[in-house]
Structure 1
Amino acid sequence: MDVTVNGQKKSLCGIRAHENALDWLRSSRLTGSKEGCAEGECGACAVMVAVPDGSGGSTWTAMNSCLIPAAALDGQEVVTAEGLGTSGELHPVQEKLAEAGGSQCGYCTPGFACSMAAEYYRGDRTPCEHPEDSEHGPNGFDLHALSGNLCRCTGYRPIRDAAYELGSPEVGDPLAERREAAPPTPASTDYTADDGRFIRPATLEEALGILSSEPDAVLVAGSTDWGVDVNIKGTRVPLMVAIDRLPELRTLTMDDSRFEIGAAVTLSEVEKHLGTRIPLFGELFPQFASRLIRNRATLGGNVGTGSPIGDTPPALLALDASVVLASSEGEREVPLAEYFTGYRQTVREPGELIRAIRVPQPLAQVTAFHKIAKRRFDDISSVAVAFAVDLTDGLISRARIGLGGVAATPLRAHATEELLVGRPMNAETARQAAASLAGEGTPMSDHRASSEYRSIMLSQAVLKFFAEQAEREEVGA
């Protein structure tokens, strides 16, 4: 077992099965990456990993090394802040951060440098003609690339200034040239240590065979949820099975009848390919955690955890999505509205895994996603509401509303959906729907919000949805 770090192969032999990449890097004297939160919220641990760009080349992608199992790096290629430049020969990103005063205590700076460098090397980054009307800088730099990096002492203005001063990679830049070749294929791994076993099967058939004989094995894809359990809760299991690079789970297809998204396609990839084709996704993903998380998290993983506050299930429920479950016995398709059975419980049987998510076409005419959280970005939702509505002759002919954070499971708001059908999109309908939606679910009180607040936010979401639609119609008229 080995991994290429900053151009040099390093052995992974002797690691613990549950050891994360950050701890391994630091034990290898690459101490630029730091542990700040161990949950993927601060970005101090960010590194760059070479991943496929979909066209036969590579793209440098920033990820939280505190959440990635070290064993998952077997055969991979990683760049840390130390690999960007040295004190004698700074990388352009490091140089601009220094010139702008973008570092004070320096604890978070290596993580910022890696996230910034990944955006610096983004192949389709182009100058922005009207940056005042865009979330991109004049050089095309997308500040959302830094949304998962926190700084507690410098402030973000000089960091932003540094990002906006970056030009394009120069000819001969080795990290830019590296993009022309495909990234290494993840190595098939079967590693056993004192604290457990880590397996990366080569095919879906092999993975299903393992699950058939070891139904209690933990499936690991993006590890953005599992990594937190390992780091914070100290969870340890006998067997982990990595499925994040299985080709059969990495497909993304579409036709006139449906979109099919492989369970191991990352959220950033879904956002890139379907963010405009499925407008509800275009609203959802910018509010889902941070770019660092979306670069690793998978759609199948977010659904598979069964969390009542996951951000994608409400949107998928509104889209009438279904889940394709695979086992060594075959496949079955389950409507997502029937998938969740209790708190973090689903109909998935031992030996099964989620192979894909299907979204039927045609899509609803009017959609919206509203997330209520303590922070605008990079936060867990207190309440999430997704709307998908069709209109015929000015009346609502079909309505789907997905809810998160108001019950033990994500759920459909059936009563409010029925109330809306046959009614016009006017203020009176909005008021009645708001009163109905406030009574859906069984919201509880916790450290994020009270049950009363959650009910109020449900009703406010309806009023906001109707107001937004009225505004669009006015502008269109």
Structure 2
Amino acid sequence: MDRLRFYLNDRLIEEPGLSPTLTLLRYLRDRAHLVGTKEGCAEGDCGACTVAVLEQDAKGAPVLRAINSCLLLLPMVQGKRVYTVEALKEGGKPHMVQEVLASGLGSQCGYCTPGVAMALLEACHRKDLDEPWKLDAQMCGNLCRCTGYRPIREAAARVAGVGPPDRFARALSETRPESMALAYSAGAQRYFTPASFQELWDVLDAHPEARFVVGGTDLSLEVTKRFTEPPLLVSLEALPVLRTLEPRDGGHRLGAAVWLTDLEDYARGTCPPLERMLRYFGARQIKNRATVGGNLCTASPIGDLAPVLISLGAEAVLLSRTGERRMALEDFFVDYRRTALRQGELLAAVEVPAQPVGARSLAYKVSKRRELDISAVSAGFRVVVDAAGQVLEARLAYGGMGPRPARARRVEQALVGQPWTEERLEAALPRLDEDFTPRTDHRGSAWYRAQVAKNLLRGFFQETLESPSPRLEAHHSATVQVR
């Protein structure tokens, strides 16, 4: 296909010859002249660029989701429906989210308001905003410097789940998914979205230097911040098997292309450690595009999914034309920003096994801001204790403590076979200094990281005394909760 094809505010758009690394934000403002969508940070932090995209969730159901248009490359909306703030007004009448924002004095200078309104639009059509903290999570990706958040949050509470019979409700009920398949070129750049594995292998055989992309929340920053133009991208978004999200053999299979929003919904009630980590992973707009595989394959030492999945004993499922191979997830990370993937191979899924009887498990994230921030230290812990109170197994994984996510094996060895008591834990903690040599950077000093890493284990001991995997409380202020 030599042109991009998508729907913009219900109007079919076909565009040839545009750079495949042109962001949706720049297209809206510079070519479509829809300037209600604003540019603030160009990295997914402020929410001024928020639009709504009609997607399919992990179950294949249509959903309307708020997304940062500054992080969406234009080919990522192939076959989809995109709505901007200009689409809210219908029949000359403002949408209810606009009316609620205006009547509640939720706007002053107005720069952030279009993005706020589009985040509210998603809230308006969500059916699961049944706890107050979810309203905070819905809106935390929208920065407003002058109004203050009280009227904005009040507006969110007023529209949450209302689901009015608007054009978006009609689109949700009437739209049928269109193919995202794409083989597109513009100048020296090429972008492929294969619809089958056979097509994928053929593309990789012809272009072994291709880079994979799905959500683009990391890769797109190279475009918006470093002004690079990757010459060859292969999207894995149109391969349904990579979006598998289901219980399996008492555990879970997490497809590499699963959106973190869907994973968070799935983990609620099925995997408390994952749910806890995802709560502070990023803003709603980020989690609506970020994927399991994207977070793991960047191999960042501060990627938040790796420690919790390693602690749960997860296994990486790798796929290539020659077949499947598996490895412990901790072995998937070989060095700073390097994985065990071979040429022509992709991460297809992560499988989390059934958890042992007597397992206590939780995950933690420490950052300068509570929400929408990068970890200074993150951790996932699982300790299996028998009926006599002896430690049978310990898996203590950390991020931010070295060039890659890794287990604190010396501390683990010091705990196994010992009684699970505060005294034994304190005796084992000094060995953490043998496991890691953290660095000092702008997120924290080496001393700070080492101290926090020990304190997280102390908090884990205290927090799991009464429940093996407690959920966060309704009014939590951090991932650590110790009474």
Structures share a fold, TM > 0.5?
yes
Between 1:374-383 and 1:31-40, the stretch displaced more is: 31-40
Match for 1:381 among 354, 375, 378? Answer: 375
> What does residue 480 of structure 2 align with?
none
Unaligned runs of 5+ in 1: 129-133, 137-141
- What is the letter of the counterpart of residue 201 of structure 2? L
The question of whether the paired residues in 2 share the 8 Å contact of 1:47 and 1:80 is answered with yes
TM-superposed CA distance for 1:169, in Å, is 4.1
- What is the letter of the counterpart of residue 126 of structure 2? R
Residue 78 of structure 1 aligns to a residue whose secondary structure is: strand
Match for 2:52 among 30, 48, 51? Answer: 48
> What does residue 16 of structure 1 align with?
19
TM-superposed CA distance for 1:289, in Å, is 1.2
Query: What is the TM-score with the length of structure 1 in the denominator?
Result: 0.93
Q: In the superposition, relative to structure 1, how do residues 55 and 358 fare at CA in structure 2: closer, same or farther (>3 Å)?
A: closer
Match for 2:142 among 145, 149, 154? Answer: 149
> What does residue 133 of structure 2 align with?
135
Between 1:338-347 and 1:424-433, the stretch displaced more is: 424-433
- Distance (Å, rounded) in 1 between the aligned partners of 2:437 and 2:399: 11
> What does residue 393 of structure 2 align with?
398
> What does residue 325 of structure 1 align with?
318
Q: In the superposition, relative to structure 1, how do residues 165 and 46 fare at CA in structure 2: closer, same or farther (>3 Å)?
A: same
> What does residue 304 of structure 2 align with?
311
The answer to whether residue 1 in structure 2 is matched with residue 3 in structure 1 is no
Query: Superposed, which structure 2 residues align to 1:284-295 within 5 Å?
Result: 284-295=277-288
- Distance (Å, rounded) in 1 between the aligned partners of 2:63 and 2:10: 16
The question of whether the paired residues in 2 share the 8 Å contact of 1:318 and 1:401 is answered with yes
TM-superposed CA distance for 1:430, in Å, is 2.4
| Identical pairs, percent | 38
Query: Superposed, which structure 2 residues align to 1:68-467 within 5 Å?
Result: 68-85=72-89, 88-125=92-129, 134-136=132-134, 142-166=135-159, 169=162, 172-362=165-355, 365-392=359-386, 393-467=388-462
- Distance (Å, rounded) in 2 between the aligned partners of 1:19 and 1:117: 25
- Distance (Å, rounded) in 2 between the aligned partners of 1:408 and 1:419: 24
The question of whether the paired residues in 1 share the 8 Å contact of 2:75 and 2:191 is answered with yes
The question of whether the paired residues in 2 share the 8 Å contact of 1:80 and 1:114 is answered with yes
- Distance (Å, rounded) in 2 between the aligned partners of 1:145 and 1:186: 29
Residue 425 of structure 1 aligns to a residue whose secondary structure is: coil
Residue 44 of structure 1 aligns to a residue whose secondary structure is: coil
> What does residue 139 of structure 1 align with?
none
> What does residue 481 of structure 2 align with?
none
Q: In the superposition, relative to structure 1, how do residues 86 and 110 fare at CA in structure 2: closer, same or farther (>3 Å)?
A: farther
The question of whether the paired residues in 2 share the 8 Å contact of 1:3 and 1:75 is answered with yes
- Distance (Å, rounded) in 1 between the aligned partners of 2:376 and 2:113: 31
TM-superposed CA distance for 1:88, in Å, is 4.6
TM-superposed CA distance for 1:427, in Å, is 1.8
The question of whether the paired residues in 2 share the 8 Å contact of 1:438 and 1:458 is answered with no
The question of whether the paired residues in 1 share the 8 Å contact of 2:377 and 2:453 is answered with yes
Number of residues of Structure 1 aligned to a counterpart in Structure 2: 463
The question of whether the paired residues in 1 share the 8 Å contact of 2:123 and 2:159 is answered with no
Q: In the superposition, relative to structure 1, how do residues 448 and 328 fare at CA in structure 2: closer, same or farther (>3 Å)?
A: same
- What is the letter of the counterpart of residue 323 of structure 1? A
- Alpha-carbon deviations, 1:34-85, whole Å to 9, x = none? 1111111111111111112456641101111111111121211011111112
- Distance (Å, rounded) in 2 between the aligned partners of 1:57 and 1:342: 38
Residue 324 of structure 2 aligns to a residue whose secondary structure is: strand
- Alpha-carbon deviations, 1:209-256, whole Å to 9, x = none? 222332221101110000111111122222101112311211123232
The question of whether the paired residues in 1 share the 8 Å contact of 2:312 and 2:355 is answered with no
- What is the letter of the counterpart of residue 166 of structure 2? D
Q: In the superposition, relative to structure 1, how do residues 94 and 303 fare at CA in structure 2: closer, same or farther (>3 Å)?
A: same
Between 1:19-28 and 1:4-13, the stretch displaced more is: 4-13
TM-superposed CA distance for 1:125, in Å, is 4.3
> What does residue 65 of structure 2 align with?
61
Q: In the superposition, relative to structure 1, how do residues 240 and 447 fare at CA in structure 2: closer, same or farther (>3 Å)?
A: same
TM-superposed CA distance for 1:111, in Å, is 0.7
Between 1:456-465 and 1:174-183, the stretch displaced more is: 174-183
TM-superposed CA distance for 1:258, in Å, is 3.4
Match for 2:29 among 21, 26, 35? Answer: 26
Query: What is the TM-score with the length of structure 2 in the denominator?
Result: 0.91
- Distance (Å, rounded) in 1 between the aligned partners of 2:163 and 2:227: 45
- What is the letter of the counterpart of residue 367 of structure 1? S
Q: In the superposition, relative to structure 1, how do residues 73 and 56 fare at CA in structure 2: closer, same or farther (>3 Å)?
A: closer
- Alpha-carbon deviations, 1:258-294, whole Å to 9, x = none? 3211110111111112332111111110010111111
The question of whether the paired residues in 1 share the 8 Å contact of 2:66 and 2:118 is answered with yes
- Distance (Å, rounded) in 1 between the aligned partners of 2:407 and 2:110: 47
Between 1:402-411 and 1:420-429, the stretch displaced more is: 420-429
> What does residue 473 of structure 2 align with?
none
TM-superposed CA distance for 1:18, in Å, is 0.9
TM-superposed CA distance for 1:11, in Å, is 2.2
TM-superposed CA distance for 1:296, in Å, is 0.5
- Alpha-carbon deviations, 1:151-183, whole Å to 9, x = none? 111111111111122265466322123222454
Q: Which runs of 4+ in 1 moved over 6 A?
A: none
The question of whether the paired residues in 1 share the 8 Å contact of 2:181 and 2:238 is answered with no
Between 1:336-345 and 1:417-426, the stretch displaced more is: 417-426
Residue 233 of structure 1 aligns to a residue whose secondary structure is: coil
TM-superposed CA distance for 1:195, in Å, is 4.9
- Distance (Å, rounded) in 1 between the aligned partners of 2:59 and 2:415: 45
- Distance (Å, rounded) in 2 between the aligned partners of 1:64 and 1:205: 32
Cα RMSD of the aligned pairs, angstroms, is 2.0
- Distance (Å, rounded) in 2 between the aligned partners of 1:346 and 1:93: 45
